[in-house]
Structure 1
Amino acid sequence: MTNKKAIIFDMDGVIIDSEKYWKQAEHEVFTSLGVKVTDEYSAITRSMTTSEVTQFWYNKYPWKNMDLETAEQRVISRVIELIETESCQINGVKTFIERLKTEKYKVGLATNSPNRIIPVVLKKLNILHLFDSISSAEFEIKGKPDPSIYLNAAHKLNTKPENCIVIEDSYAGMLAAKNAGMTVIAYTNGNKEMNYEIADYKLDSFEKDEIEWIKMN
């Protein structure tokens, strides 16, 4: 990977263990609106943007007395509350990013999460200052697996897509990065159930001396 200039991180599931908070908030808010939230459908919504999730549940169980924007913002606000009060940092990720910076890599963030949640996460982990660019799918026509967010992230970093490495934990995110022409590292966090065949490499933990592995491969 000697020609690589930039590392772009996904957020949920890569730098913060927040998937459970999204699931909890989704269940709380939409159940209160009369939606029958099931694990089967929640597995489908996992890779969607919050606006797509809201539209998905509304299409299944149309509700009254609350517009979709308000419902979406309630989910986001609930997730922010949980992030601010719970311990949710992925072990070793801050040190890992700091080492990338000392090695002169540009560092970006590209997430399907809404824009207003990003500074909450990065400030909580005290890593906001480490990112050279931040991209939210809120400002894209389509979220992941569409590649646009990664192409725009590369543009912000003034780096060609082929010179970018993406660290992702979801299939939709890995597919987006691959379609953008980038090298993909699957962050597994020890998950053996997920299919990571689409990725170029796998990374099980940020706590090991993985920066040397990235430089060597």
Structure 2
Amino acid sequence: MKAIIFDMDGVIVDSEKLWSQAEREVFGSLGVQVTNDLSILTQSMTTTEVTKFWYERFPWLHKSEEEVEQMVIARVIQLINEEDCVISGIKNFMEKITKEGFKIGVATNSPYSIIPAVLRKANISHLVDTISSAEFEENGKPQPDVYLNALKKLNLTADQCIAIEDSNSGIRAAKTAGLKVIAFSKYSSMIVEETYLEVQSFEDIDFKLLPSSSPART
């Protein structure tokens, strides 16, 4: 293994509640009835897909979908800066794997503009070698596009990398790209996809448990 590619939301920052708050505030101000049942359907979507989802059900006036999407993004960035949302142990783990010679990537469905805010909040900007956002891909997770792009940027093959994901859609994206996956399940009890390893803390990841470049169990 030469690199570890991290999902962002739910792996680097505990941001689901922040996205939920921002969407309720922004879409609610436009007359959208944001319900829990409908919100569940949007959890694995990109922000563009989420905005389209709500507009199709509760079309608003005077603002474009792009304007509203940017309002949500701006509010999420504000909340990230204000709230205590960094996943415990993420910086120490990244420092440790960097010393072991691993490269670090970030592959996320989130818009690109949110990524620097998250990396600054977690104080890990200097540790990350490359970032890949679904904003610039044809498809977001569960399609593999962001992982394939991350591999290209790292100049590595899938069997040289491992992904850390916290959702079924993210796990499917990484596996489809050919990566083995560690499921980070601290905040999710709904992971049903088969993974190489499942942990609830970065302290639980023993380097002896990481796969070699040769085939390993899945």
Structure 2 length-normalised TM: 0.93
Query: What SS does the corresponding residue of 1:8 show, helix, strand or coil?
Result: strand
Q: What residue in structure 2 maps to residue 207 of structure 1?
A: 203
Change (3 A) 1:190 1:45: closer
What percentage of residue pairs aligned between the two structures are identical? 54
Alpha-carbon contact 2:163-2:181 (below 8 Å) kept:
yes
Query: Which moved further from structure 2: 42-51 or 198-207?
Result: 198-207
TM-score w.r.t. the length of structure 1 is 0.94
**How far has the Cα of 1:46 moved from its partner?**
0.7
Q: Secondary structure at the match of 2:162?
A: strand
Q: How many pairs does the alignment contain?
A: 213
Alpha-carbon distance in structure 2 between the residues aligned to 1:149 and 1:52? 16
Structure 1 segments unaligned to the other structure (5+ residues) = none
Is the 8 Å Cα contact of residues 185 and 191 (structure 2) preserved in structure 1?
Answer: no
Q: Which whole-Å CA distance do the structure 2 matches of 1:15 and 1:213 have between them?
A: 21
- CA-based RMSD of the aligned residues comes to 1.5
Q: State how far apart, in whole Å, the 1-side matches of 2:205 and 2:197 are.
A: 15
Q: For residues 100 and 170 of structure 1, what CA distance do their matches in structure 2 show?
A: 23
Q: Structure 1 CA distance, aligned partners of 2:22 and 2:204?
A: 33
**Where does residue 116 of structure 1 map in the other structure?**
113
Q: 1:27 aligns with which of 21, 24, 28?
A: 24
Once the two structures are superposed, the pairs formed by residues 100-179 of structure 1 within 5 Å of their partners are 100-179=97-176
Which residue does 1:68 correspond to in 2? 65
Contact 1:6–1:164 at 8 Å: present in 2 too?
Answer: yes
Q: 1:207 to 1:143 in 2, by over 3 A?
A: same
Superposed displacement of residue 215, structure 1: 6.3
Deviation at 1:209, TM superposition (A): 5.6
Paired with 2:112 and 2:187, the residues of 1 have a C-alpha distance of 28
CA positional deviation for 1:39? 0.8
Q: Please report how far the alpha carbon of residue 58 of structure 1 lies from its aligned counterpart in structure 2 after TM superposition.
A: 0.5
The reply on whether 1:37 has 2:34 as its aligned counterpart is yes
Q: Is the 8 A contact 2:166 2:191 kept in 1?
A: no
Flag the 1:30–1:190 CA change in 2: closer, same or farther, 3 A: closer
1:208 positional shift:
4.0
Pairing partner for 1:81 from 54, 73, 78: 78
